[in-house]
Structure 1
């Protein structure tokens, strides 16, 4: 099982909601052993949050019970 989350890298206001929902999902019994893939979308937009910023804000390094990966991407170009 995997949890796949797409983050809008330009939306600094809603990243806190993403964080809250992410940790709710990871705490769910059915997802106890699920891997986590985060797509940091819109990396082509100026002033977007970097993968490092998103990772830091979501506190991904504190996630110890799930394997996780964060991937920069751009849906318009297919990059990432």
Structure 2
């Protein structure tokens, strides 16, 4: 089954989601029971770590389109400029 890349990242890199196929109901139920026993701040910390390492895509695209062609030149010479959009 094809997977959606952002869900793959949330599941594998950040451990914020869990994917199960319809025939994996028992495994999903076990995961639910496990999650209920975990402290709530675990996922808040994971979420915060993900957000710290992400950019505001809407802000970035807004800047990129409105300031084009200057923005394209900036990104070609300094790809890390995207991290200004947190």
TM-score, shorter chain, exceeding 0.5? no
If you compute each CA radius of gyration, which structure gives the higher value, 1 or 2?
2
Between Structure 1 and Structure 2, the one with more strand by share is: 1
Instruction: Sort the TM-score into its range (normalised by shorter chain).
Output: under 0.3
Query: Which structure has the highest helix share of the two?
Result: 2
Query: Higher RCO, 1 or 2 (CA under 8 Å, sep at least 6)?
Result: 1
Alignment TM-score, normalising by the size of structure 2: 0.25
TM-score with structure 1 length normalisation? 0.26
